Structure 1
């Protein structure tokens, strides 16, 4: 049986999630107070309804507690976001992900029982900052305050060298999770695998270790 998702708030964040879930063939209920937004996603979501998610009876009538995962993607109205989350928690929704506007908003959401709180604008800002600072960093995912997963483009300094030769784990404390070469992806590469200039390597490690490794091996300038 396919999992059922509900997206509350159809702005850029909620709308992008709705489209992505739809592309994966999943059942999605799209909810917004704006008739224009609901009409826009009527052909994207499995169902799209105009509703105020801060009203308890409205959520009950939609059978919201039967959904496997509900995403609260309400935009700038923090009060509506908090009230909606509280309604979902009280109705026993199993998984609730909420978009937060700031750290204070996140604290309140965690206090009232949100299962996961995300900061899409802040997180994207961090990723873009890493891309701007270093031409070698293609993508960046923060795992915690100290650890990250980073995509790096191999240059001349590592061209035709094996992972054993580079010894990234011992020298820099970094683990290579995968190597991408054109359309091929090598997951969990072997120690004798060779890197070529232009390869994309996916590395996990402490931020300080990744920075040391990048400066030593991936900065060809």
Structure 2
């Protein structure tokens, strides 16, 4: 059964989510107060609606509480973002993801019950910075303020060793949860799995432990 999503705010962030969900075959209602933006997504989303989401009667008329997930991606208008989120909570929407402009905005959203708060610009900045710092890091996904999942290209120091030889969990407190080898994905690799040239290790752990691993084993 297809899930139904509503995306409120069709700027770059909201628009990209709307496109991605639609590409995955999901039912998506695109909502914005700007008619021009709504017209742009009329052929992309399942439904595209002009509406002021700070008006409770508008959200009720759209049957917003029936959607599985609502994404509030309102741009620079923090007041509209907060008020929309508050109304969605009061109407009983099950899952609400909200784009935060800054830490204070996040704090308010958290207090009024947003289920998930994202900082797309900040998070992308961190990912790019992490990739620039280390030549071995391909991708970086922040799980919390202190934990991440990182894709790391196996360096010369790692090639030829098995996972048990490296004893990464005991020495660094991190786990190799998967390995990419060409088009093959090895999930939960065995202890005797030998690391080959070109392997990409998918590692999970505390940021401090991942950084220690990078510095000691990867920076040849």
What TM-score bracket applies, with the shorter chain setting the length? over 0.9
Q: Hey, what's the Cα distance between the residues in 1 that align with 2:108 and 2:164?
A: 48
RMSD: 1.0
Figure out how many residues of one structure are paired with residues of the other and give that number: 220
- Secondary structure of the structure 1 residue equivalent to 2:93: coil
Q: Please list every run of 5 or more consecutive structure 1 residues that lacks an aligned counterpart in the other structure.
A: none
Q: Please list every run of 5 or more consecutive structure 2 residues that lacks an aligned counterpart in the other structure.
A: none
Residue 197 of structure 1: CA displacement?
2.1
Question: Does 2:189 align with 1:189?
Answer: yes
Q: Hey, what's the Cα distance between the residues in 1 that align with 2:173 and 2:108?
A: 37
Aligned to 2:103: 103
Aligned to 2:113: 113
- Secondary structure of the structure 2 residue equivalent to 1:126: helix
- Secondary structure of the structure 2 residue equivalent to 1:144: coil
Aligned to 2:180: 180
Matches within 5 A, 1:34-183: 34-183=34-183
**Alignment deviations for residues 11-43 of structure 1 (CA, whole Å, 9 cap, x no partner):** 111111111111111100000111221111111
Aligned to 2:23: 23
**Alignment deviations for residues 75-95 of structure 1 (CA, whole Å, 9 cap, x no partner):** 011011011111111111111
TM-score (norm 2): 0.97
- Secondary structure of the structure 2 residue equivalent to 1:158: coil
TM-score (norm 1): 0.96
Residue 111 of structure 1: CA displacement?
1.5
